[in-house]
Amino acid sequence: MAKYLLLKHYRGAPAAVNDVAMDQWTPEEITAHVQYMNDFAARLEGSGEFVDGQALAPEGTFVRYDGPGRPPVTDGPFAETKDLIAGWMVIDVDSYERAVELAGELSAAPGAGGRPIHEWLELRPFLTEPPTITD
Amino acid sequence: MDGDLLRRLTPEVLGVLVRRGADFAAAEDAVQDALVQAVHGWPADPPRDPKGWLVTVAWHRFLDAGRADVARRRRESLVVEEPPPGPTPGVDDTLRLYFLCAHPALTPSSAVALTLRAVGGLTTRQIARAYLVPEATMAQRISRAKRTVSGVRLDRPGDVATVLRVLYLVFNEGYSGDVDLAAEAVRLTRQLAAMVDHPEVAGLLALMLLHHARRAARTTPDGSLVPLAAQDRSRWDTALIAEGVRILQAALARDRLGEFQAQAAVAALHADAQAAGETDWVQIVEWYDELVRLTDSPVVRLNRAVAVGEADGAWAGLAALAAVDPSVPRHAAVTAYLHERAGDRATAARWYAEAAHRAAHLAERDHLIRQAARLNARLPG
């Protein structure tokens, strides 16, 4: 088994095919979209492949250490930062091919006009513990 | 296996051990061990006196643990010197546990976890699942909390307001898991109200009951939020409402108003309306005025602006909103709502989209983006 992170971007991924802001959809289209996402997660739980899924607020803060005795520096959000994560799903699957297949299904979630969004999702393998038997 | 019985007995048993001289942290561990043994053993061999059984087993566990490190901690001598336990009412013991678990030295998250385990009788695993953290993390949190309060003497009553704050947090944090935290908070507050004669304890219990009564109507089967005005009121639990109103009236009659009673009064006025259009908004504004006086909270001022918008019209609501700090959560959502009520759909749609952008909860975000979409779909062009 291998764990993969499916990353959804607010910004930083190539534009989706059906790229319409959500507040321009109809309420029914939003309901259908949410239903699709819920069903997808439920199906992965059923197949024993779901690990975790979370959504993130669109705005965050950059923080860094500023030396001893000083409070951390906070800044941002930076408009020029290219990448903005909207949320993730962690899956635990048998193969890379299965991970790609599931990411493709998630990207097919319906959007404006009830048509698939064709959204670009980023698929990132976890770095895991080395196996016990290596030779 | 009666889990409710076990959990009801948990604080009583723990209280007995502490009164016999066990330190809180060790006693709490011993009681957890006894509970686990009960869960496994009782179905086949139920005891005639469940509480006596638990006390005996937990006490032996405590003694065994004490013997194991007697050289270091000399716990056995303490135990030997302890007078034999006599029959004392369990109520005081349980009450002291509430105060201990809500001790001001604890952070809110630690107080919540410790209360659910030591008073509520939940296992660490159940609490961890309810708050969506790993079990090891929750175990550490509880263990640190126990160390923090281990030196606190149990002979003085604490401030009931701290206990109420913890119970309110348990009720209001809408996480889901195999444990129904809202129902657990209601149970613990009921138990507290039976022991403490205090109008704010009654006020909090009434507040919880009145909100709990709406639960079935608050979300659709797919998890979407249903705002108060759109809820199917036939799905409200009328027995809970009646109980909440009765408890609230008795509390208000004592003329010692506090914020929980005032919040419950608002909830009772909503519960009283057969349809959203029959809501007595004028009286609700008066209660919010009381709440502003009692708390001076910007959140209360925000809710008051909504009520003013209903009582005196959207423009009056927007005027009241202008005096509220815009950084308060849900400010954008209220702005959107009042603009829609004022007939300005385009502005409302923009504010709903902004509110969705700022939303702190997933279901709330989905609800707000749906409101924006609903208005945008009907805008020309």
- Report the gap between the CA of A25 and the closest CA in chain B (Å): 6
Task: Tell whether the model's pLDDT for residue B87 goes beyond 60.
Answer: no
Candidate from B222, B349, B370 with C-beta closest to A27: B370
How high is the pLDDT of residue B176?
59
**Counting every residue, how long is chain B?**
381
Note whether B336 contacts A: Cβ–Cβ < 8 A: no
Q: Two tokens at B275?
A: 């349809």
| Subunit contact A23:B357, Cβ cutoff 8 A | no
More confident residue, B120 or B70: B120
Residues of A in contact with B352 (CB under 8 A): 23
Cβ pair A88, A7 in contact under 8 A: yes
Q: Closest-CA residue in chain A for B132?
A: A52
Is B97 among the domain residues? Answer: yes
With residue A64 as reference, give the H or E element that holds it: strand A62-64
The residue-averaged pLDDT of B333-362 equals: 95
Residues B120 and B97 in one domain: yes
Q: Closest-CA residue in chain B for A24?
A: B373
Residues of A in contact with B327 (CB under 8 A): none
Task: Tell whether the model's pLDDT for residue B71 goes beyond 70.
Answer: no
Average pLDDT, chain B: 89
How high is the pLDDT of residue B75?
47
How high is the pLDDT of residue A12?
83
A→B contacts (Cβ < 8 Å), by residue, are 21-27, 29-31, 34-35, 38, 55, 57-59
Residues of A in contact with B358 (CB under 8 A): 57, 59
Q: Closest-CA residue in chain B for A35?
A: B222
The residue-averaged pLDDT of A12-27 equals: 90
Mapped onto helix, strand or coil, the DSSP state of residue A122 is: strand
Task: Tell me the ipTM for this assembly.
Answer: 0.83
How high is the pLDDT of residue B155?
61
What is the percent of chain B where pLDDT is above 70? 91
Residues B177 and B147 in one domain: yes
pLDDT digits (tens, 9 = 90+) for A29-55: 999 999 999 999 999 999 999 999 999
How high is the pLDDT of residue B80?
43
Give the CA distances from residue B246 to residues B23, B80, B251, B255, B284, in Å, rounded to whole numbers and listed in that order.
Answer: 40, 50, 9, 15, 18
- Report the gap between the CA of A16 and the closest CA in chain B (Å): 19
- Report the gap between the CA of B310 and the closest CA in chain A (Å): 25
Task: Tell whether the model's pLDDT for residue B173 goes beyond 80.
Answer: no
Q: Residue B81: count other Cβ atoms within 10 Å of its Cβ.
A: 8
How high is the pLDDT of residue B154?
63
Is B355 among the domain residues? Answer: yes
pLDDT digits (tens, 9 = 90+) for B95-134: 889 999 999 999 999 999 999 999 999 989 989 988 888 9
Residues B83 and B17 in one domain: yes
Q: How confident is the model at residue B171 (pLDDT cuts 50, 70, 90)?
A: very high
| Subunit contact B373:A29, Cβ cutoff 8 A | yes
Q: Closest-CA residue in chain B for A32?
A: B222
Residues B124 and B151 in one domain: yes
| Subunit contact B353:A31, Cβ cutoff 8 A | no
Is B243 among the domain residues? Answer: no
How high is the pLDDT of residue B200?
97
| Subunit contact A22:B377, Cβ cutoff 8 A | no
Q: How confident is the model at residue B78 (pLDDT cuts 50, 70, 90)?
A: very low
Residues B129 and B166 in one domain: yes
Q: Rounded CA gap, B309 and A30, in Å?
A: 29
The residue-averaged pLDDT of B313-340 equals: 96
C-alpha closest to that of B370 among B232, B212, B236, B220? B220
How high is the pLDDT of residue B258?
97
Mapped onto helix, strand or coil, the DSSP state of residue A73 is: strand
Residues of A in contact with B129 (CB under 8 A): none
Q: Say which range, B216-220, B239-243, B281-285, has the weakest mean pLDDT.
A: B216-220
Mutate: best of A11, A20, A23, partner B, most B CBs <10 A: A23
Give the CA distances from residue A48 to residues A6, A43, A80, B243, B320, in Å, rounded to whole numbers and listed in that order.
Answer: 16, 9, 39, 44, 52
Mapped onto helix, strand or coil, the DSSP state of residue B313 is: coil
How high is the pLDDT of residue B211?
95
The residue-averaged pLDDT of B24-47 equals: 90
How high is the pLDDT of residue B93?
80
Residues of B in contact with A25 (CB under 8 A): 373
How high is the pLDDT of residue B1?
59
Mutate: best of B370, B371, B375, B376, partner A, most A CBs <10 A: B370
Q: Say which range, A86-95, B110-119, B221-230, B324-333, has the weakest mean pLDDT.
A: B221-230
How high is the pLDDT of residue B287?
98
Is B58 among the domain residues? Answer: yes
Q: How confident is the model at residue B145 (pLDDT cuts 50, 70, 90)?
A: very high
pLDDT digits (tens, 9 = 90+) for A71-105: 999 987 676 666 789 999 999 999 999 999 999 99
Mutate: best of B330, B369, B378, partner A, most A CBs <10 A: B369
How high is the pLDDT of residue B85?
47
Candidate from B349, B362, B369 with C-beta closest to A55: B362
Candidate from A30, A38, A55 with C-beta closest to B373: A30
Main-chain dihedrals φ then ψ at residue A87, nearest 5 degrees? 170, 175
Amino acid at B97: L
More confident residue, A91 or B360: A91
The residue-averaged pLDDT of A111-119 equals: 95
Task: Tell whether the model's pLDDT for residue B36 goes beyond 90.
Answer: no
Candidate from B349, B353, B374 with C-beta closest to A27: B374
Task: Tell whether the model's pLDDT for residue B178 goes beyond 80.
Answer: no
Q: State the number of CA atoms in the 13 A half-sphere of B93 facing the CB.
A: 20
What is the percent of chain A where pLDDT is above 90? 75
Domain range list for chain A:
2-125
Task: Tell whether the model's pLDDT for residue B88 goes beyond 90.
Answer: no
The distance from CA A7 to its chain's CA centroid, rounded to whole angstroms, is: 3
Task: Tell whether the model's pLDDT for residue A67 goes beyond 80.
Answer: yes
How high is the pLDDT of residue B73?
55
Residues B84 and B107 in one domain: no
How high is the pLDDT of residue B81?
46
Is B320 among the domain residues? Answer: no
Q: How confident is the model at residue B23 (pLDDT cuts 50, 70, 90)?
A: confident
| Subunit contact B369:A34, Cβ cutoff 8 A | no
What residues make up the domain containing B119? 90-195
Q: Residue A29: count other Cβ atoms within 10 Å of its Cβ.
A: 21
Note whether B138 contacts A: Cβ–Cβ < 8 A: no
Q: Closest-CA residue in chain B for A58?
A: B357
Residues of B in contact with A30 (CB under 8 A): 366, 369-370, 373
Main-chain dihedrals φ then ψ at residue A63, nearest 5 degrees? -130, 140
Task: Tell whether the model's pLDDT for residue B148 goes beyond 50.
Answer: yes
Per the structure, the count of domains in chain B is: 3
pLDDT digits (tens, 9 = 90+) for B258-270: 999 999 999 999 9
Of B166, B195, B224, the position where a domain reaches its end is B195
Residues of B in contact with A38 (CB under 8 A): 222-223
Note whether B222 contacts A: Cβ–Cβ < 8 A: yes
Is the backbone of residue B309 left (phi > 0), alpha (psi -120 to 50) or beta? alpha
How high is the pLDDT of residue A8?
95
- Report the gap between the CA of A91 and the closest CA in chain B (Å): 17
The residue-averaged pLDDT of B83-91 equals: 51
- The second-level CATH assignment, the architecture, of A2-125 is 2-Layer Sandwich (3.30)
How high is the pLDDT of residue B174?
61
Residues B74 and B96 in one domain: no
Residues B58 and B105 in one domain: no
Amino acid at A102: L
| Subunit contact A25:B373, Cβ cutoff 8 A | yes
Is B312 among the domain residues? Answer: no
| Subunit contact A31:B376, Cβ cutoff 8 A | no
